[in-house]
Amino acid sequence: ISHLHLMSLPTYIRSQFETSAYGKHYRSGSGSTISTPLAWFLRSSPTLWLTILLFPLGKNYSNPIILYSHFFHYFNGTLIYPLKLYFSSMKTTNGFPLDPALKAIIFNILNAYIQSRWVSHYANYDDDKWFWLRFGGGVVVFATGMMVNVWADGVLVGLKKQGGGYKIPRGGLFEYVSCPNYLGIEWLMTWSFAGLAFFVFTCANLVPRA
């Protein structure tokens, strides 16, 4: 967990001067590229396969409900979203630079390990009388963030499908913030130091980009 906190400040500082060259920030000379749908699949996939491997080994294996939201989000990010990209924009994008894709894979391996280990091995639900109350509130936060994320991704995929280069999305939350798909923060719902570490790093990484 401390690794994520330690990574957050230098990541935030670096983000003030350098932007990962994918999406609208893509620029020629960004190095080797791979298919954009494949990149999104590979970079998010550790959150699925590592979670599946680790969770059954923990003491909370018989109470998997809190894991479902984590898994549901990344099922969308690993499989559904790349498929949408594949069928809508595979032939209209410049490709995804290999360097940020590899960095994302490494981060997601670390983060999936931290989140899965916390939920499966270290969280003590039986002695927490406020757990279900806090979890219910967390589910509301998660569901709201998930809906914002899926909606915003749908708008962006629709623009990609039109072709013709980068376009500025309009309507809904796009009238108030640049990137609603980054605004839908979901990870505070765990009420844990592991979830907080993920939240802090996500802000350090994505808020400057947004």
The DSSP code for 64 is T
Residue-wise pLDDT for 167-201, tens only, equals 888 888 888 888 887 765 666 666 778 888 888 88
Which segments within the chain are labelled E, that is strand? 33-34, 96-97
**Which of 126, 140, 129, 117 minimizes the C-alpha distance to 192?**
117
- Residues 106, 51 share a domain: yes
- How confident is residue 160, by pLDDT bands cut at 50, 70 and 90? confident
Question: Which pTM value belongs to this model?
Answer: 0.76
Q: How far apart are CA 158 and CA 169, in angstroms?
A: 10
Single out the residue in 75, 101, 126 at which a domain terminates: 126
Domain of residue 148 covers 128-209
Task: Please tell me the predicted confidence (pLDDT) of residue 41.
Answer: 92
- Residues 140, 114 share a domain: no
Q: Residue 108 falls within a domain, yes or no?
A: yes
Q: Residue 160 falls within a domain, yes or no?
A: yes
Q: How far apart are CA 98 and CA 181, in angstroms?
A: 22
CA R_g for the chain = 18
- Residues 148, 112 share a domain: no
Please give the share of the chain, as a percent, with pLDDT higher than 70.
84
Single out the residue in 126, 154, 172 at which a domain terminates: 126
Residue-wise pLDDT for 67-110, tens only, equals 666 677 778 888 888 888 888 755 555 678 888 889 889 988 98
Please give the share of the chain, as a percent, with pLDDT higher than 90.
3
Do the Cβ atoms of 39 and 101 come closer than 8 Å? yes
